Structure 1
Amino acid sequence: MTYPSPDGTEDRPAGHAAPDGAIDSALARITAVDPAKFAEAYWGRQPLVTRADELAGADGFRDLLSPEAVDELLSERGLRTPFLRVADQGKVLPAASFTGSGGAGAEIGDQVTDDKVLRLYAGGATLVLQGLHRLWPPLVRFAGRLGDELCQPLQVNAYLTPAGNRGFATHYDTHDVFVLQVDGTKRWRIHEPVLPDPLERQAWGGRADEVGAVAEGPAALDVVLAPGDALYLPRGWLHSAEAQGERSLHLTFGVRALTRFAFVEELLALAAEDSRLRATLPYGMDVADPSAVAPELTDTVSALREWLLTADPIRIADRLRARAWPAQRPAPVRPLAQLAFAERLAPADQVKIRAGLRWRLHDDGSDQVVLTLADRTLRLPAYCAPALHFVLDGDIHHVADLPGLDDDADRLVLVRRLLREAVLVPA
C-alpha cells in the first residue's frame, strides 16, 4: 500500500534521500556530456575523455584530494591495511613491506609506516590509497552525491605513481570507472575488451595471455591526461597507465553496479521452490554420459522455463534490494551531536532525511506502518504514516508541521525516534 501525499499525488513505495547541498550535478563535474546522452552513448558502451577546459580547469579536482592530503593520510592518520596497497613492477607488494607496529597504546601490527612508504615510493613503487569514500571527508561527500545520481554504490581509490613509472600491467576491471587526474600527467593506452561486460568472477587474470596479446596491438585510445581531465572507462576495456615526466596523482571512482546476471542468480535461488527442479536424478545415471544427460536436461530446461514464466517481480526486487542497499552507505552522522540534538528537540526545530538513505515505507496489513532500511526494519503505529511520508520527502521540515499527529508531544516522540535511528538529521 502507498500513502497519499498532501497534494493528492501518490507516494513511491521506495526511495532514497537527496544529497546534502547537491545543487549542481556531480556527474556534470566529471563529464561535459548531458546525462541523457551519457546514458545513451557512453554508459557501459565506450570510453569518454573530458578535458579540464570543459570542466572546472586544471585545479578542478584538488579540493577532493591533493598531494598534501596524501601526505597527511600517509603520515598522520594512522592508516592500516587494506587502506593502502603498494605495487612495484606490476606486482602488489606484501603488506609487511610498508606496515609495522602502531607503537605504545596501539596494539596493532599493520599500521602504515611512513618511512617505509617513503623508501618504496622513492624506488619507483606506486601507492594505492583505497576506500577513500569511507576515509577522506571531501571524497565521502562527493562519492555520496555521484552514487546518488547514478543509483549505484561507488568505491574511491587514489593512485600516486612516480615519474616514468607504471603501477600495473595492462588489465581490465570488472566495474566501470571514472578517472580524475589531480596532479601531474599520465598516459593511458586503452584497448577494446577481450570479454565484453565481464562479471566480478571473470577477472582479467584468467585471460592474461589474451589480454597481453591484444595489448601488443594498436590502442583504441592513446591519451595523456593532465590535471583537471577526466576519463570514463566501461568495465572490460583493457588499459594501462604510465606517469610522464613527473609524479602523477589520480582518483578512480569504481561503480559497483549490479548486472542482469544478478537477476539470473536470484531467479535460480527462488527456482529451488519448484519440486521438479529439486528432483533426484535417475538411479544409476552416469552424469558424464551426454546421451544420459540429454533427456534429463530437456526435462529440466522445460520445468525451469515454466517456472520462470511465473516469477514475481516483487520477490525479485526484495532480493535485489537486500544486495544493493547495504552496498551504498548513506551520509555520515555525528553520534554525539545527533543525540544532543534529539534530547533538546523542540517543535520549532528543523529536520530532514539523512542524505543517501535508502528506504521503503509500506503497510503490513496490521495496525503498524513499516519503514524498511538497508540494515533493519522499523515498525511504528499506523497513524504515523502521514507524518512519515511527509518528513521523508527530502525537504526540510519544522517538527511542528508534521501532519496526522494529535499534538507536538507526539511529533517530538516520533522525530526523536527517527533521529536516534539515524533516519533524520538536523537541518
Structure 2
Amino acid sequence: MTTFSKVVERLGGGFPTGAFGRTYRIWRGVADFSSVLTWDDLNTVIGRGRLEPPRLRLHRDGELIPWQRYATAVTTRRNVVWQRIQPSGLHNQLHDGASLVLDAVDELHQPAERLAQALEGVFRGRVQINVYASWTATEGFGTHWDDHDVIVVQLEGAKRWRLYGPTRLNPLHRDTEVPEPPADEPIEEIVLRAGDMLYLPRGWWHAVAATEGRSLHLTCGLQTTTGADLLGWLSDRLRTSETVRAHLPVFASPQEQAAYLELLRKEVADALHDGAIGDFLTTRDVLHARLTTARAQLTDNDQGQVVLVAGGEEWTFASPVRAVLSPLLDGSSLPLGRLAEASGLTVGQVASLVTELVHANVAAVSEP
C-alpha cells in the first residue's frame, strides 16, 4: 500500500461523519512520509525557484521577520522589482530560532502534489500544502487559529502542539467578529513524531514548537466550503429566473412587495431541493473547462481589461478573468471550482464565462 493510499485509508471510516469540522483527531504511525518531502528536497525546491517573500517567509515568537533581514531587492532590466533570498542572511535567521514557511509546495514538488490530489479526492475541495521547517524549539507563530481546516503531516523530527479549542465556532476569513484569544490552559498537549498525522478544524487555537532539534512538517489546508458558498452559487444559478432579474419593487405598495417576496421565496425554496448540495459540488469540482483552439491569445488593454482572441473572435473581460483563462491557454483542463478560487470569482460567474466561450466553439466543458 502506498503512502497516499494509507493516508486516504486513515481518513475514511467514521472520521468524515464523526470528527470532520467538529474536533481534532490524531493518527499515529500512518506511513513513512519521507517519500513526500525531505530536507534535501526542500533545499532543491528553494534553490531552483524564485521563491521571494511572502511565499517564502520567516517567523519567530509570533512575529513575521522583515524580508530585508534575509533578502535583497533586485530590479530587472524591465524594471520589475523582486526579493532575492540571501543564503547567509537566511541561515543566520534560522540559527537564531526562526521558522521557515514555504507556501504551495504542491505546485513545486510532484510527490507533494500527489498528496494534495489524494486529499482532494477525500474532501472534495481544493488543498494547498505549505512546508514548515524549524531548527530550534522557539515558537514561530505564537498562539493562533486558522480560517480553514488542516491536515498536518509530520515528516521528520517532532513538534509539540498545544490545542486550546475554538472561541468562536466556524470563523471565516472575512467574518463579522474576531475570535477572542483563549483564556484557559490547553485542553490537550500532544507531540507529533515522524509518520504521525493530525486533523485540526478551523478556528481551533493552537501553539506549535519543535521539541527535539530540527522539525519538518506539512500543513495541508483544506478549502472551506460553507453555506455562504452554496447560497452564492444558488444566487448565480437563479439569474435565469425572471423574478430574480426583475427590479425590486421599491416603490410598490406593501401588498405588491409582499407578493414579490412570496414569489422569490418559492423560487429559492425550490432551488434548495434535497440534492442541491450534490449539484453544487458537482458543478464546482467535477465539471472541467478547456480551450479548444491552440492559438488563443490573452493580452491586456489600456483600461486594465483582459482581451481574449480565439477562433477569429475577440472578447474583453474584467481583469480577474485573467486568472481563469491563463491556466487554460496551454490546453489544460481544470475544474471550474479551482478557476473560481484562483480568480476570486464565483463558480456561477466562471460557468457563465465558459458557457459564452462554448457557444462560440472555442471552449468545452467535460467531466474528468
Higher relative CO (CA 8 A, sep ≥ 6), structure 1 or 2? Answer: 1
Q: Which position in structure 2 is the counterpart of 1:29?
A: 7
1:220-239 pair list within 5 angstroms: 220-239=187-206
Question: How far did 1:29 drift?
Answer: 2.4
- The one-character-per-residue Cα deviations of 1:125-151 (angstroms, maximum 9, x if unpaired) are 111011111111211122123213332
Letter in 2 for 1:309: A
Equivalent of 1:280 in 228, 235, 250: 250
Distance 1:307 1:32, change over 3 A: closer
Query: Do 1:74 and 1:114's aligned partners in 2 also have CA atoms closer than 8 Å?
Result: no
Which of 149, 156, 175 pairs up with 1:202? 175
1:234-280: per-residue Cα shift (whole Å, max 9, x none)?
22222111111312211011111322221122334566753677232
Cα distance, 1:309–1:424 mapped onto 2, change above 3 Å: closer
Match of 1:89 in 2: 61
Deviates more, 1:75-84 or 1:241-250: 75-84
Name 1:47's counterpart in structure 2.
Answer: 24
Aligned-partner Cα distance in 2 for 1:224–1:133: 25
1:211 and 2:166 are equivalent in the alignment: no
**1:140: which partner in 2?**
113
- Indicate the SS of the match to 1:211: coil
Which is greater in Rg? 1
SS of structure 2 residue aligned to 1:267: helix
Q: CA deviation at 1:74?
A: 2.9
Distance 1:172 1:110, change over 3 A: same
**In 2, Cα distance between equivalents of 1:79 and 1:218:** 38
Measure the CA separation in 2 of the matches of 1:296 and 1:95.
60
Alignment partner of 1:99 is 2:71? yes
Give the superposition deviation at 1:199: 2.5
1:319-340 C-alpha deviation (Å, 9 max, x unpaired): 77675579x999xxxxxxxxxx
Q: Distance in 2 between matches of 1:295 and 1:110?
A: 63
Q: Using a 3 Å threshold, how does the CA distance of structure 1 residues 358 and 24 change in structure 2: closer, same or farther?
A: farther
Distance in 2, Cα, partners of 1:36 & 1:317: 21
Counterpart-to-counterpart distance in 2, 1:176 and 1:121: 28
Cα displacement (A) at 1:93: 2.7
Distance in 1 separating the partners of 2:3 and 2:68: 41
Answer yes or no: is the 8 Å Cα contact 2:102–2:132 preserved in 1.
Answer: yes
Deviation at 1:45, TM superposition (A): 1.9
**1:39-90 per-position Cα deviation (integer Å, ceiling 9, x unaligned):** 22122222111112xx22xxx1122111222222333433223421211221
For the residue of structure 1 that corresponds to 2:232, the secondary structure is: helix
Task: Specify which of 290, 311, 318 is matched with residue 271 of structure 2.
Answer: 311
**Equivalent residues in 2 for 1:277-426, closer than 5 Å:** 278-280=248-250, 304-311=264-271, 324=285, 358=335
2:97 aligned residue: 124
Partner of residue 45 from structure 2, selected from 73, 76, 99: 73
* CA–CA distance in structure 2, aligned partners of residues 271 and 172 of structure 1: 35
SS in 2 for 1:201: coil
Question: What secondary structure, in the 3-state scheme, does the structure 2 residue paired with 1:167 have?
Answer: coil
Aligned residue type for 1:41: G
Tell me, which stretches of 5 or more residues in structure 1 are unaligned?
1-22, 284-293, 331-353, 360-371, 381-416
| Alignment coverage as a number of residue pairs | 307
One-letter amino acid of the counterpart of residue 274, structure 1: V
Cα separation, 1, equivalents of 2:219 and 2:95: 23
What residue ranges of structure 2 are gaps of 5+ in the alignment?
A: 291-330, 337-349
Aligned-pair identity (%): 26
2:207 is aligned with 1:240: yes
Q: 1:30 to 1:225 in 2, by over 3 A?
A: farther
User: Which amino acid is 1:147 matched to?
Assistant: E
Q: Name the Cα RMSD after superposition.
A: 4.5
C-alpha distance in 1 between matches for 2:208 and 2:258: 49
Residue equivalent to 2:146: 173
Q: Which has the higher mean CA deviation after the structures are superposed, 72-81 or 189-198?
A: 72-81
Structure 1 residues 89, 265: closer, same or farther in 2, change over 3 A?
Answer: same
CA distance in 2, matches of 1:202, 1:25: 37
Q: So what's the TM-score if we normalise by structure 2? A: 0.68
Q: Which residue of 1 aligns with 2:131?
A: 158
Pick one of 234, 239, 246 that aligns with 1:267. 234
Any idea what SS the aligned residue of 1:189 has? strand
CA offsets, 1:280-330, max 9 Å, x none? Answer: 2689xxxxxxxxxx999988865653331232779998877675579x999
Change (3 A) 1:356 1:238: farther
Structure 1 runs of 4+ aligned residues shifted over 6 Å read 103-106, 294-301, 312-322, 372-375, 377-380
- Supply the distance in 2 between the matched residues of 1:297 and 1:316 (Cα, whole angstroms): 30
Normalized per residue, the structure richer in strand is: 2
Could you say if the C-alpha distance between residues 375 and 282 of structure 1 is closer, same or farther in structure 2, counting changes exceeding 3 Å? closer
1:254 match = 221
Structure 2 counterpart of 1:96, one-letter code:
Q
